[in-house]
Amino acid sequence: MNKDPSVLEALAELRRRFGDDAFDVVDHWDADLMAIGVATRTEHGQLVYFSTATDHSGRFYVELEEPPVSGDDFPYKSTGVFDDVDFNELATLVAQHLRLSAPP
């Protein structure tokens, strides 16, 4: 995966917290080396997009996405935007939005 080390480190830490098979990595942003998405294993429309392209190291921009409502022209429905969160807040948002729990 060709992403900035800050994104790869965040993904590795999310995997450590929730397990290797807890979510799928979904990359709709190939050209953006500082952005990635993680989604539920069964519904890639239930997605957490995050970017490390912020003004401060170790901070994230996060957007929560859900599948669009029937008849909607948009590819997804945004259910939350967070401009400046630390890794623990990112992990909490991922856990809540994807309904994950840490492995025993």
Compare 104 and 81 and report the one with higher pLDDT: 81
Contact 51, 22 (CB under 8 A): no
> What is the per-residue pLDDT for 71?
74
Element of type H or E holding 93:
helix 87-98
Q: How far apart are CA 80 and CA 88, in angstroms?
A: 17
Compare 78 and 84 and report the one with higher pLDDT: 84
Per residue in 24-47, pLDDT (tens digit) is 999 988 999 999 999 999 999 999
Question: Binning pLDDT at 50, 70 and 90, where does residue 1 land?
Answer: confident
Element of type H or E holding 2:
none
Phi/psi zone of residue 100: left (φ > 0), alpha (ψ -120 to 50 degrees), beta? beta
* Coil vs helix vs strand at 69: coil
* Rounded average pLDDT over 88-94: 97
pTM of the predicted model as reported, rounded to 2 decimal places: 0.90
Question: Is 104's pLDDT higher than 70?
Answer: no
Q: Give the C-alpha distances (Å, rounded to integers) separating 103 from 21, 56, 72, 94.
A: 11, 30, 36, 14
* Rounded average pLDDT over 59-73: 87
**Would you list the domain boundaries of the chain?**
1-21+34-42+55-72+87-104
